[in-house]
Structure 1
Amino acid sequence: MPIRHVLLAIAVAALWGVNFIAIDLSLAAYPPLLLAALRFGLIAIPTLLFVRPPRVRRRWVIGYGLGFGVLQFGFLYWGMAAGMPAGLASLVLQSSAPFTVLLGAVLLRERPTPARAIGIVAALFGLLVVGWQRAEHAALLPFLLTLAAGLGWAIGNVCNRQARTTEPFRLMLWMTVVPPLPLLALSAVLEGPERIGAALRGAIGPEGLWPTLGLLFTAIVATIGGSGIWTWLLSRHPAGLVAPFSLLVPVFGMTSAWLLLDERVQPGELAGGALVVAGVVLVAVAPASRSRRRR
């Protein structure tokens, strides 16, 4: 890759890492499910008005939106609102990589190579260590919710792969049309109209300025800008060359959380995190899979 493209890939990883700080900032004023709905709604409205739908089966767009949008960000925001530190959330969300390989093996009959299998085991063991440390030092529920977010991302990845689109950025934009209504319905039931109304009224006041800027950063800069650049890089280079740069996301996420939020991570969590990253590296750089089983 040219050095300019390498720097772009690193910049996207930095955007996505810092994005966890923006989410943490937004959760100070918005309930988590409402915040997730607003994030996608800000992109969905102009998409419906100005972007032509991708030429893929509708069910894969819906599945992509439900997995990547509703499940991933519904659980992620809920977990962070319940107490999951922003930096640690950026790490645990990397569980999507081994989950994607496992779902591919179960649903698509993609047999992982031995190297990928070792990576999955290492990553899952690392997550167990992080979970055990969270149970020792803090509530376990936020960790489990973030882990569920990683599984949701993996479901979205499988649907995205099955769409087999030649227009990935267009598919990503239309995926955002799916989550707002389900998330708003869940927000109305679980968070209540009074809390929603108070959050929306507070958004226009001085105390809502920074949380709203965090929401705009998440929707416009991280989602449209970051995903747009990432898609552009994937269209010019092999996925195996670009994808490993996403491993820098928890590095930027945990570093920015330490610098900006004064978050401290337990030594055991760092050890478990190192295992997760090592496992994800193996999953990312090893050959994808053996040939599918003969029918």
Structure 2
Amino acid sequence: MKLKHILLALLTVTIWGVNFIAVHYSLKTFSPFLLCAVRFGLAAIPFVFFIPKPKASWQLVFGYGFFIFVLQFGLLFTGLHLGLSPGLASLVLQVQVFFSMGLAAVVFHDRPSKWKIIGALIAFAGLAMVAIHVGAGTTLLGFILTLFSAMSWAVGNMFSKKVASESSLALVAWGNLVAFPFMMVISLCLEGPESIVTSFAHINAETIISVMYIVYMSTTVGYGMWGFLLNSYSTTVVVPYTLLVPVVGLISSALVLGEEMPLWKIIACIIIMAGLVFNQLEKQVREIFSRLSK
């Protein structure tokens, strides 16, 4: 990747890592599905009135919106609501890297090299530490839902490459338009009108700032930049950068929310970062092993 695109990827994962803090504060006021509906509605309107639909079939745009937004965030927000901490959720969600690489190999024949696979496995060891330390009860359910959220993100990445929109912002806006009615209906049916009225009655400045960050920074800016990168490079080159999301998520959760940072979390972060370095410096790694084998 070009240096400017590496910096773009780093900016994207930083925005997404901090986003877990915004979700944490937003869920103090909004129920999970209502928060999703608000997020999708504000991210779609008014943009869809000014930005043409991507030049792709409705089926592809629908698939992108359904998997990236409806399933991913519906499951993720519910997992957070049920007790999974923001820092841990940011770690668990990165299983999508492995799902994405596997799906890319099947769908696009975008097969990762053995070195990228090794790098992914190193990072997976860090994620496995999270699974080992997740507690029982509602937190376990939150962990499972977040795993399914990661799978949805990976499937959505495939739709993003299929659409190959010239404007990543257009894909994000129209994808959110697809997701909005789904989440509004789900919120009405499962959370009820009374919960919706109560949520809006208790909005405060903290909630407004958090929701604005989720909508415009994480969704519009973050997914806009991510779509551009996916359309510019191979999936196996781009998706490993999301392994840095939990590092940002854990550090920001510790600084802002006072989330504990025991030794195992620090080790997990180091292992994940090592896997990413191994993955991205494939050429240098090959050269080192070649010299050692001589």
Give the TM interval when normalised to the shorter protein: 0.7 to 0.9
Residue type matched to 1:194 in 2? Answer: E
Q: CA deviation at 1:99?
A: 0.9
In the TM superposition, residue 286 of structure 1 has moved relative to its aligned partner by 5.9
Does the 8 Å contact 2:84/2:142 carry over to 1? yes
Whichever residue aligns with residue 264 of structure 1, its letter is E
Change (3 A) 1:23 1:113: same
Unaligned runs of 5+ in 1: 288-295
Q: CA RMSD in A?
A: 3.1
Asked if residue 251 in structure 1 is aligned to residue 237 in structure 2, the reply is no
Matched, 1:171 2:167: no
1:214 aligns with 2:238: no
Q: Is the 8 A contact 2:160 2:227 kept in 1?
A: no
Q: Normalising by the residue count of structure 1, what TM-score does the alignment of the two structures yield?
A: 0.82
> What TM-score does the superposition give when structure 2 sets the normalisation length?
0.82
Indicate conservation of the 8 Å contact 2:161/2:230, yes or no: no
Query: Which residue of structure 1 aligns with residue 103 of structure 2?
Result: 103
Letter of the structure 2 residue corresponding to residue 252 of structure 1: V
Deviation, 1:135, is: 3.0
Q: Which amino acid aligns with 2:42?
A: L
Aligned residue number for residue 53 of structure 1: 53
Could you tell me how far 1:4 is from its partner in structure 2?
Answer: 6.7
Query: What is the aligned partner in structure 2 of residue 33 from structure 1?
Result: 33
Q: Which amino acid aligns with 1:55?
A: K
Where 2:134 maps in the other structure, the secondary structure is helix
Contact 1:12 1:230 in 2 (8 A): yes
Q: Secondary structure at the match of 1:250?
A: helix
- The percent identity for this pair of structures is 35
Q: Which moved more, 1:269-278 or 1:67-76?
A: 269-278
Return the letter of the residue paired with 2:30: Y
Residue in 1 aligned with 2:259?
263
CA contact (8 A) 1:243 1:284 kept: no
Q: 1:185 to 1:258 in 2, by over 3 A?
A: same
Moved more, 166-175 or 115-124: 115-124
113-122 or 92-101: which moved more? 113-122
Report the secondary structure of 2:30's partner residue.
coil
Name 1:118's counterpart in structure 2. 118
Which structure 2 residue ranges, 5 or more long, are not aligned?
A: 284-294
Instruction: Report how far residue 119 of structure 1 moved.
Output: 4.1
Q: Deviations over 1:53-110 (max 9, x none)?
A: 1101111111111110011111111111111111121222111111112223455555
Pair 1:233–1:122, CA change in 2 (3 A): closer
Cα distance 1:245–1:45, how it changes in 2: closer, same or farther (>3 A)?
A: same
Deviates more, 1:272-281 or 1:255-264: 272-281
